[in-house]
Amino acid sequence: MQGGATGATKPGLKVFPYEASPNTELQTVANNVDLAASPDQVWALIGQFGGMWHPLIASVKLTGKGVGQLRTIETIDGKQIIERLEAEDNSQRLYRYTNVSGLGVVDYTGTFDLKPKGSGSSVEWRVQFLADNQATLIVRTIVATLMKTGFEALTKRFGALK
């Protein structure tokens, strides 16, 4: 030891002082896009739980039917994500799903909601989650990027509502 100390100069702590406490607050990422296509046209593409409209998806495999069914998504970079359909209402153009595996999250719920807007439609995609084994900022960035990429593809396909 340097400085002549022969022992601890102050009592030790029971926790590492620089470790942040876990974020236990449910995180929300939401985005929407207004499209120059009728709600029926847009829902025909995105309203199917096993749909292949998102450009980052290489393949989708469904297991089961209706509420409770699983979709196994393989992304274009080879990752696998498994999600479960929790609610579906085609008349309201809405479905809700949860993440089973593939993302570093717990309590992950995503919702797609499509509404008429003027001569076109508006799609809202909302996700709530708690990060698990990775930083909340990383998960927020991944989810926001998925939304942005998906909405850019929808805008390219249907055009933006003016």
CATH code of the domain containing 121: 3.30.530.20
pLDDT digits (tens, 9 = 90+) for 98-137: 999 998 899 999 999 999 999 999 999 999 999 988 888 8
Question: Is residue 121 a part of any domain in this protein?
Answer: yes
> Which amino acid is present at 131?
A
| Number of domains comprising the chain | 1
What pLDDT score was predicted for residue 87? 97
Question: Is residue 89 a part of any domain in this protein?
Answer: yes
pLDDT-derived band of residue 10, with 50, 70 and 90 as boundaries? low
Question: Is residue 137 a part of any domain in this protein?
Answer: yes
Question: Is residue 12 a part of any domain in this protein?
Answer: no
pLDDT digits (tens, 9 = 90+) for 50-93: 999 999 999 999 999 999 999 999 999 999 999 999 999 999 99
What pLDDT score was predicted for residue 2? 47
Question: Is residue 39 a part of any domain in this protein?
Answer: yes
Question: Is residue 8 a part of any domain in this protein?
Answer: no
Question: Is residue 115 a part of any domain in this protein?
Answer: yes
State pTM to two decimals: 0.83
Contact (Cβ atoms closer than 8 angstroms) between residue 113 and residue 127: no
Question: Is residue 111 a part of any domain in this protein?
Answer: yes
What pLDDT score was predicted for residue 110? 97
What pLDDT score was predicted for residue 24? 74
Domain region containing 131 = 27-158
